Amino acid sequence: MQTIYLDVLLVFNLYVNYILLCMTARLTHSRLRTGRCLAASALGSLSTLIMFLPEMPVILSVLCKLLTAVLLCMAAFGWHDRMRLFFCSICLFGSSFALAGILLALSIMCSVRVVHVNSCWYLDVSLLHLILFTIAAYILLHTVQYLRDRTHAADGGYRVSIRYRCCTVQLQGLADTGNSLVDFFTGKPVIICDRTPFADIAPAPDRLPPKGFRLLPCETVSGKGMIPVFQPDEVVIYAERTGRYRKVDALIGIGERENERAIFHPKILY
């Protein structure tokens, strides 16, 4: 009979769930707060206690895994946007199966004791094995994201709605692969908007950014500089060709042009 240590089981799955939720947020461009991510990870860790139940049929255990993925996404990303919840749940469910294969491979290569019961994994791992697992997960995330970005092309017109405090701005959107600006603190993409619509809240070019704004280094065709960015309350992109709306998790950068346009990278839509 296999011996399972409860503390190792809970801590390891807390770690795994945190990585899976971060992967899901990155792949779906969903906003994920650290507190909610930790709470959802803890919930997922507690769900692994079903390992101590009698072994269930495969179909039932898979259904339990899918239900757990939905509950974790509800806890981490909210449940108001059902379409986003659906995509996040499918992404989390698929990522968990992909990482299960990585866990199995690592267990073989590193001779780690593995227990798999009711679609839950238990690994009696060391710090070195956790580091190897993190590296493997990081490589998997960026490989999937690279392949996904290469297979999707954005075309057609867009409208971008940006809500910040009591202000809502509607801009003409432009999908441009030239805008690869990403916030190095959060890893979130930055949508570059013209200054005119944000004249009441944006800082003047010769002044320090007000509360809620910060400066981010950027590079353009005219040279290097700093651009003020802020975290909006909500960003919605409407695709005129398909008639679909998509909420995205991105920062807003205020450019120098006097126009009404928002430039974003096409991958933000997928």
My answer on whether 145 and 180 are in the same domain is no
| Of the residues 124, 151, 178, the one at which a domain ends | 151
pLDDT of the residue at 191: 93
Q: Which residues pair with 230 in a beta bridge?
A: 213, 252
My answer on whether 19 and 98 are in the same domain is yes
pLDDT of the residue at 153: 47
Contact 247, 236 (CB under 8 A): yes
Domain extent for 255:
158-269
Say which residues have a Cβ less than 8 Å from residue 7's Cβ, sequence separation at least 6.
none
Whether residue 128 is contained in a domain is answered as yes
Contact 91, 29 (CB under 8 A): no
Whether residue 174 is contained in a domain is answered as yes
My answer on whether 191 and 107 are in the same domain is no
My answer on whether 221 and 254 are in the same domain is yes
Whether residue 206 is contained in a domain is answered as yes
Count structural domains, the chain.
2
| Of the residues 105, 134, 151, the one at which a domain ends | 151
CA-based nearest residue to 26, from 148, 132, 131, 180: 148
CA distance 145 to 266: 13
pLDDT of the residue at 237: 92
Stretch (H or E) spanning 192: strand 190-193
Whether residue 209 is contained in a domain is answered as yes
Which residue ranges in the chain fall short of pLDDT 50?
1, 153-154
My answer on whether 228 and 175 are in the same domain is yes
Whether residue 1 is contained in a domain is answered as no
pLDDT of the residue at 1: 47
My answer on whether 95 and 177 are in the same domain is no
| Of the residues 151, 176, 207, the one at which a domain ends | 151
pLDDT of the residue at 39: 92
My answer on whether 135 and 202 are in the same domain is no
My answer on whether 10 and 143 are in the same domain is yes
My answer on whether 216 and 248 are in the same domain is yes
My answer on whether 114 and 49 are in the same domain is yes
CA distance 81 to 85: 6
Contact 236, 31 (CB under 8 A): no
DSSP codes of every residue in 98-158: HHHHHHHHHHHHHT--EEEETTEEEE---HHHHHHHHHHHHHHHHHHHHHHHHH----S-E
